[in-house]
């Protein structure tokens, strides 16, 4: 077997006793509940997600060959990584209908019936039957239980209160993946580079070739010329999940310390990503493209885009299997990379577009945009961002802390210490449209909620006459709190709260 793990995923329904007797599917019940009229749980083969009836557990693990990779130092972290990856696959499925039929809502139209959060139950079976496995996963924040009492059961092997753990879609998308994702350490004589593991199995085992415990490293080696070019510029080696220790790369936010800016007391802010660093990358199944956000650079050379997939003949094998229309032709190559403009040239082009200039007022010669970008890079409460589709920049954004921003001064004491704000600009007409707005807007909000778990609100302040964009914001879950008056414009205060945010657009 190639490296991986086996997941048992099923849908369970409660049925009356007479329905259970007529059912041909497996039934999970106990002798204590055989009385007539009692409800029993019937397990079905999983076909599509349900709002609360799905459950899973990991039944077995197939580790890579010990001749290639060292055994994991923390089995629990390894289990958490596999569970996170499984949940990522599950929550990319088509969401189920959230409305539920109850006795009280039987006469209510479906659109007005009660709604439930989408959850999947984690069963204490398979490898999750370990003495403290579920407890550790709960401490990591990956699973939850509504039974929050100590309990009276003295058993340490199978303590009560852990039979009903679950993961909700809302909580899954708000927890940083860097807590769980990491790379395996290769053996000293292993042919694999130290920066590997690879993101996917390349293919099924080939019986025609000698058996081998792990995929061949030559299947994943990137073109040397591209690697050299990328490493010479502003690049993020190995991505956000890479570390020399081969341990998870997430660290919790530090304790709050305060300082003053323009007589406003606010927390000391963490350093933003460096020039050229891609700090958010996600595949968008509905568009068949990769969305990424990075910090622009002042370099006169084009910034290398993220290398989303291995640049080898096996590239299509590691792309999601449900995306036949994925835009492989637009993925970065040496040919189209060298023809691309620098970040400053792009900003000059965008700011001199009459549509953009009317809103931003930064048109002019190249040195105007140079000063604009320098000011953004030197700001202590915000940083500039380029959004990219398949590595091609399509827009300019600013992510800022509202408290010490001019918006915060106008709002007064209503602003939280960790409230984030966004400024947005779409420069490329080919990437405009309502669906793309939903995707990149929800991704920016997603980043803000991941970057600091204390951020409860994200805000925008579009001009009040920009009704088209305000409607886009409302469709994405934002609501209008009021209006503020700037010297140069009247703005609507648009907000979205963590509590009401569900998931990024897929």
Closest by CA position to 87, among listed 159, 139, 144:
144
Give CA–CA dist 59/311, Å, rounded. 34
Dump the DSSP string for 261-292.
Answer: ETTEEEEPPPP-PPTT-EEEEEEETTTTEEEE
The strand pairing partners of 158, in sequence order, are: none
CA dihedral angle for residue 427, residue 431, residue 436, residue 437, rounded to 10 degrees: 20
Cα torsion 414, 418, 419, 422: sign: positive
Q: List Cβ neighbours of 445 (8 Å cut-off, separation of 6 or more).
A: 458, 476, 496, 501, 504
Residue 307: closest CA among 451, 198, 148: 198
Residues 412-444 as b/e (b if ≥16 CB within 10 A, e otherwise) read eeebebbbbbbbbbbbbeebeeeebbbbbbbbb
Distance CA 29, CA 342 (A): 65
- Distance (Å, whole) CA 124 – CA 122: 7
> Where are the alpha helices (H) located in 296-342, listed in sequence order?
334-338
For the annotated catalytic residues, the residue numbers are 461
The CA distances from residue 19 to 36, 78, 177, in Å, are: 11, 41, 42
Length of the chain in residues, anyone? Answer: 506
Kind and range of the H or E run holding 448: helix 434-451
Q: Report residue 471 as tokens.
A: 């409607």
Helix, strand, coil share of the chain (percent; to 5): 30, 20, 50
Cα angle: 171, vertex 174, 179; to 5 degrees: 100
> 40-45 and 27-28: which strand pairing?
antiparallel
Q: State whether residue 106 is helix, strand or coil.
A: coil
């Amino acid at each position: 077997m190639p490296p991986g793990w086996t997941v048992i995923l099923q849908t369970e329904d409660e049925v009356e006793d007479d329905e259970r007797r007529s059912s041909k599917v497996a039934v999970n019940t106990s002798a204590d509940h055989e009385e007539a009229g009692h409800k029993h749980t019937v397990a079905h083969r999983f076909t599509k997600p349900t709002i609360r009836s799905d459950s899973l557990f990991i039944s077995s693990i197939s580790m890579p060959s010990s001749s290639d990779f060292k055994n994991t130092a923390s089995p629990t972290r390894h289990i958490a990584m596999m569970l996170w990856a499984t949940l990522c696959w599950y929550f990319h499925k088509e969401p189920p209908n959230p409305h539920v039929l109850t006795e009280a809502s039987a006469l209510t139209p479906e659109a007005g019936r009660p709604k439930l959060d989408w959850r999947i139950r984690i069963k204490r079976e398979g490898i999750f039957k370990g003495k403290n496995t579920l407890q550790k996963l709960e401490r990591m924040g990956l699973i939850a239980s509504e039974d929050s009492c100590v309990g009276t059961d003295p058993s340490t092997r199978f303590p009560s209160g852990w039979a009903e753990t679950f993961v909700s879609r809302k909580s899954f998308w708000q927890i940083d993946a860097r807590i769980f994702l990491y790379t395996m350490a290769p053996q000293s004589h292993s042919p694999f580079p130290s920066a590997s593991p690879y993101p996917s199995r390349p293919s099924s085992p080939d019986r025609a070739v000698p058996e081998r415990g792990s995929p061949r490293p030559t299947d994943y080696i990137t073109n040397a010329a591209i690697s050299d070019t990328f490493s010479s510029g502003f690049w993020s080696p190995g991505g956000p999940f890479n570390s020399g220790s081969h341990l998870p790369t997430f660290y919790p936010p530090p304790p709050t310390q305060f300082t003053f800016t323009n007589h406003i007391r606010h927390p000391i802010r963490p350093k933003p990503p460096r020039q050229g660093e891609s700090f958010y990358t996600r595949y968008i199944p509905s568009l068949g493209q990769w969305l990424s956000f990075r910090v622009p650079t002042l370099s006169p050379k084009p910034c290398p885009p993220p290398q989303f997939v291995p640049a080898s003949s096996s590239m299509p094998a590691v792309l999601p299997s449900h995306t036949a229309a994925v835009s492989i032709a637009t993925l970065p190559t040496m040919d189209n990379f060298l023809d691309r403009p620098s970040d400053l040239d792009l900003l000059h082009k965008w700011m001199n577009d009459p549509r953009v200039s009317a809103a931003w007022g930064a048109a002019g010669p190249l040195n105007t945009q140079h000063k604009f970008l320098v000011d953004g890079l030197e700001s202590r409460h915000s940083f500039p961002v380029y959004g990219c589709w398949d590595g091609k920049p399509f827009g300019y954004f600013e992510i800022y802390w509202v408290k010490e921003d001019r918006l915060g001064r106008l709002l007064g004491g209503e602003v939280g210490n960790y409230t984030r704000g966004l400024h947005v600009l779409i420069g490329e007409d080919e990437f405009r449209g309502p669906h793309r707005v939903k995707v990149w807007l929800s991704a920016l909000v997603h980043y803000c909620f991941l970057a600091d778990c204390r951020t409860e609100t994200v805000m925008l302040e579009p001009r009040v006459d920009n009704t088209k964009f305000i409607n886009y914001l409302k469709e994405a879950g934002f609501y209008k709190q009021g209006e503020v008056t700037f010297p140069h414009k009247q703005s609507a205060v648009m907000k979205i709260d963590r509590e009401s945010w569900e998931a990024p657009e897929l």
